[in-house]
Structure 1
Amino acid sequence: MAANRRDFIKYSGLAGLGMFGGDFGMLLAHANHLEFPNDMQEPFQKNQLGLYGPWAKSLFLDELPKISFRRDTYTDLEAWKNAGVSLVKERMGYLGLDTKPKVNVLRSVVFEGLLCEEISYQLPYGNPTRALILKPENAKGKLPAVLGLHCHGGNKFLGLDKIAKLGNDIPDYVQEHHQTYYEGKAWANELAKLGYVVMVNDAFAFGSRRVMLEDVPEERRRGIVDFDMSNRKNIDAYNAWASDHEHIMARSLFSAGISWPAVYLAEDQVALDILADRADVDTGRIGCAGLSGGGLRTVMLGGLDPRISCAISVGFMTTWADFLLNKSHTHTWMTYIPLLPRELDFPEIFALRAPKPTMVLNDIEDNLFTLEEMKKTDRILSDIFKKADAADRYKCSFHPGPHKFDLAMQQEAFEWFDRWLKG
């Protein structure tokens, strides 16, 4: 019975491998050596793909990825980084927006000792992007700066307001978001108070950059309209609509020859351009950080843009195997880059910034990842930074509790920024 079961898994799985083209022969040969559970082996581990999980993982994820710096064949760090960055950009369909948008200052206010500028700028597509720039009111000269990357949180109606504010008169649903994920704080404001210029921009498909219902066919709107977003019920309805629409957005971007990561990376790089162009910013001391979807954006921006001197990913670090077997159902389409898992594991995207200061903050009870795979990424990143002679520039911490960026984690992150951007 066990042999029949193994043969069924092997050959039923291989029946659909025509999509791999020229790699089919290699995969068939590899499949002949697959080990599947039987009475004499370890018991089958349930996963979100069922019996297909072990087969899918065995194709590319049971060995070191092809261009992992952990391979003995790679000894030149800069050559590996250059190759890795080019490859990731190619796989995602990198946009590389070559644009210098005009920045419009919508208003300036002083709030809790901070000079707060609300700005907007027009990208080549979509509605104008809204952003906030915060810094100490009486600051002089050039300051270290941080691009604050807001989270996903299943809330596309909101963007930058998730981590920044211009005053205390904010809606209840924004306060709830601050409390749930940030222990009641708008962390971008708190970091700015420590002597930083902090910029927060709305990401692609969030806040000012969200898909407007008036711009999609009526049959796709579910009766929701843009102009009536003054109450919580309609905002919740929009977020439910946007959650389902994420599948359409991702498939449509793939159809255009690009991916979701390519778009938000390009837009975050334009925000970085704007931040770096400011007269009050020291371009040699720029960092980025974010929780969850913001942590994902940190991995991409910090790993692929050399202008980021210090990067902190919070609540977003695991392996491709974890996504494959356990957790892809808990994650946004913003995560995935076609074919890349063959060549780099997920944390190795972030490692492309080595030897620059890099921090990962995890939550032990985070239900978006498995603890075992979070710990594995720590070992992967530690090994790469050690091989890059930069062990002291990588740090990973595990904090108690669920998915969040609470005050204790904020303190650790801010101290890391102080060490590397102020030291």
Structure 2
Amino acid sequence: MKSGSVLSKSEDSTQARREFLKSSISIAAIPFTLSEVDFFALNFMDKSDNQILTASEKSIIGGYGSWAASLVAATPSLSFRNSGENDIDSWKTKAVSKANELIARPQKSEPKVTIEKKYTYDGLEIEELSWQLPYGRSTKAVLLKPLGVKKPLPAILGLHDHAGMKYFGYRKIVKTSDDQHPILKEHQTSDYGGKAWANEIAKRGYVVLVHDTFAFGSRRVLYEDVKGLDWGSLDVTNKSDKDPEKSENILEYNKWSSEHEHVMSKSLFCAGTTWPGVFLSEDQIALDILSKRPEVDPKRIGCGGLSGGGLRTVYLAGMDERIKCAVCVGFMTTWEDLILHKSFTHTWMTYAPLLPKYLDFPEILGLRVPLPTLVLNNNQDELYTLSEMKKADVILGEVYSKAKASDRYAAKFYDGPHKFDQQMQKDAFEWFDKWL
């Protein structure tokens, strides 16, 4: 790729997925030539079993799909949809406790917040913030608010996406100057209808905080800090141009960090935690910081985000009742969809082992019932199966109906691929306005 060139969102994500598959199963690791594999398949397989799978029986894990899917009950054991669960408070105590146990969130801390810079831009007052957690580099964040705030306002914790771009964090959904990086400009054009949605909702009268989360932006894993891995194309020691903001260097880092995800996830499992648990802990710390701001009404805080931000919304809004209104965008389906069809399109950041025994994926978000919840989906979203997105909608609808809170849940479906475009933003902002 030429210096300074930028991959489109679809090219970048497709390439990242292909590279992940290449790094996961290298042909060099298979001790046969292709002709030997064919010979083995033709001559040494059990010829007494020559059953051919039908199209409906095939899955991303071959003939094991139906068996694996059968391990997850249609109504998991801690689902509020079970006939024996009629008291919402009793059920929630059990379900949240089990979810907390399996998500295995690390203990939170209360860091000191530093205001790095203050200025105005785009009709907003902007503060660049930082805080130091007990691990990793300092967290960078930005707070946006209307000019001349005189009284406590409702607030939004904006959760940035993944997009195969770990070099950037909060910068993906904000704009703090006219000098915007071309990769960010392209990303906001392709995924957000050309808007920095955090700025747009702040203009409506909200205080908005967006922070870099674990492994993104200021919290990203630096290649030079990694020891014991000899794979990957990123070589900072031999670069004649070490400018980290150069487009080709960013794209190279994003590719390497995508390949590093499975390493991080396995290490977190070995440490007794999960990636959703670390996200939850860091997002709750940001929520602590936002709720203590003098210009914020702590009883009127919402959260939302696209894709990886939608994933974080599921866990944060499901597990923390301080989130009074939630909008999950582009991250809703069922565990069965991931078992049979779509786990390969998703980051390792999605999974909390054993949790599917107790709650289906939408029911994690459903733990917040009866608090207001909106889910926005795209009909041609390549990350999910449409029928399973609609099944997730039915599940959440049943949860809210049983809690006699149907008016506080809604799901919308839009034509188009994975995105949070201007029409979707309009609907999300109106939902926040209604409830906050």
* CA deviation map 1:56-108 (0-9, x unaligned): 111224x31011100110011111112111111111212131x2211111111
Do the aligned residues in 2 keep the contact of 1:354 with 1:388 (CA within 8 Å)? yes
Do the aligned residues in 2 keep the contact of 1:163 with 1:178 (CA within 8 Å)? yes
Q: Which residue of 2 aligns with 1:58?
A: 70
Do the aligned residues in 2 keep the contact of 1:224 with 1:238 (CA within 8 Å)? no
Q: Which amino acid aligns with 1:231?
A: K
Q: Which residue of 2 aligns with 1:352?
A: 367
Whole-Å separation in 1 of the counterparts to 2:415 and 2:55: 31
* CA deviation map 1:354-392 (0-9, x unaligned): 000000000010010000000001100001001001000
- Report the CA distance shift for 1:223/1:379 in structure 2 as closer, same or farther (over 3 A): closer
Q: Which residue of 2 aligns with 1:163?
A: 173
Whole-Å separation in 2 of the counterparts to 1:223 and 1:156: 14
Q: Which amino acid aligns with 1:73?
A: G
Q: Which residue of 1 aligns with 2:289?
A: 274
- Report the CA distance shift for 1:43/1:229 in structure 2 as closer, same or farther (over 3 A): closer
Whole-Å separation in 1 of the counterparts to 2:178 and 2:311: 29
* CA deviation map 1:283-337 (0-9, x unaligned): 0000000000000000000000010000000000000000000000000011001
Q: Which amino acid aligns with 2:390?
A: K
* CA deviation map 1:165-209 (0-9, x unaligned): 211211111101101100110000000000000000001000000
TM-score for the superposition, normalised by structure 2: 0.85
Q: Which has the higher contact order (CA 8 A, sep 6+)?
A: 2
Superposed displacement of residue 45, structure 1:
3.0
Q: Using the aligned pairs only, state the percent identity.
A: 54
Pair 1:46 & 2:46 matched: no
Pair 1:117 & 2:132 matched: no
Whole-Å separation in 1 of the counterparts to 2:322 and 2:150: 23
Do the aligned residues in 1 keep the contact of 2:125 with 2:146 (CA within 8 Å)? yes
Equivalence map 1:137-176=2 (5 Å): 137-176=147-186
* CA deviation map 1:7-43 (0-9, x unaligned): xxxxxxxxxxxxxxxxxxxxxxxxxxxxxxx89x986
Secondary structure of residue in 2 paired with 1:66:
coil
* CA deviation map 1:129-177 (0-9, x unaligned): 0000000012211000000000000000000010012112111111011
Superposed displacement of residue 46, structure 1:
2.0
Whole-Å separation in 2 of the counterparts to 1:214 and 1:296: 29
Secondary structure of residue in 2 paired with 1:51:
helix
* CA deviation map 1:252-297 (0-9, x unaligned): 1011111101101100000000000101000000000000000000
Whole-Å separation in 1 of the counterparts to 2:258 and 2:175: 25
Superposed displacement of residue 230, structure 1:
3.0
Pair 1:415 & 2:415 matched: no
Do the aligned residues in 2 keep the contact of 1:224 with 1:234 (CA within 8 Å)? no
Superposed displacement of residue 219, structure 1:
3.4
Whole-Å separation in 2 of the counterparts to 1:220 and 1:86: 40
Do the aligned residues in 1 keep the contact of 2:154 with 2:206 (CA within 8 Å)? yes
CA RMSD of aligned residues (A): 1.7
Q: Which residue of 2 aligns with 1:361?
A: 376
Secondary structure of residue in 1 paired with 2:198:
helix
Equivalence map 1:62-81=2 (5 Å): 63-81=74-92
Whole-Å separation in 1 of the counterparts to 2:56 and 2:171: 45
Q: Which residue of 1 aligns with 2:226?
A: 216
Whole-Å separation in 2 of the counterparts to 1:242 and 1:291: 20
Do the aligned residues in 2 keep the contact of 1:180 with 1:404 (CA within 8 Å)? yes
Secondary structure of residue in 2 paired with 1:309:
strand
Q: Which amino acid aligns with 2:431?
A: W
Q: Which residue of 1 aligns with 2:347?
A: 332
Pair 1:182 & 2:197 matched: no
Q: Which residue of 2 aligns with 1:20?
A: none
Which 10-residue stretch deviates more, 222-231 or 166-175? 222-231
Secondary structure of residue in 1 paired with 2:57:
coil
Whole-Å separation in 2 of the counterparts to 1:170 and 1:81: 44
Q: Which amino acid aligns with 1:270?
A: I
Do the aligned residues in 2 keep the contact of 1:109 with 1:166 (CA within 8 Å)? no
Pair 1:305 & 2:320 matched: yes
Q: Which amino acid aligns with 2:63?
A: L
Q: Which residue of 1 aligns with 2:403?
A: 388
Q: Which amino acid aligns with 1:205?
A: A
Do the aligned residues in 2 keep the contact of 1:213 with 1:221 (CA within 8 Å)? no
Do the aligned residues in 1 keep the contact of 2:145 with 2:203 (CA within 8 Å)? yes
Do the aligned residues in 2 keep the contact of 1:296 with 1:313 (CA within 8 Å)? yes
Superposed displacement of residue 109, structure 1:
1.1
Superposed displacement of residue 223, structure 1:
4.3
Q: Which amino acid aligns with 2:100?
A: K
Whole-Å separation in 1 of the counterparts to 2:263 and 2:283: 22
Whole-Å separation in 1 of the counterparts to 2:235 and 2:327: 37
Do the aligned residues in 1 keep the contact of 2:80 with 2:399 (CA within 8 Å)? yes
Q: Which residue of 2 aligns with 1:316?
A: 331
Superposed displacement of residue 222, structure 1:
3.7
Whole-Å separation in 2 of the counterparts to 1:213 and 1:160: 20
- Where in structure 1 are there 5+ consecutive unaligned residues? 1-37
Whole-Å separation in 1 of the counterparts to 2:232 and 2:67: 39
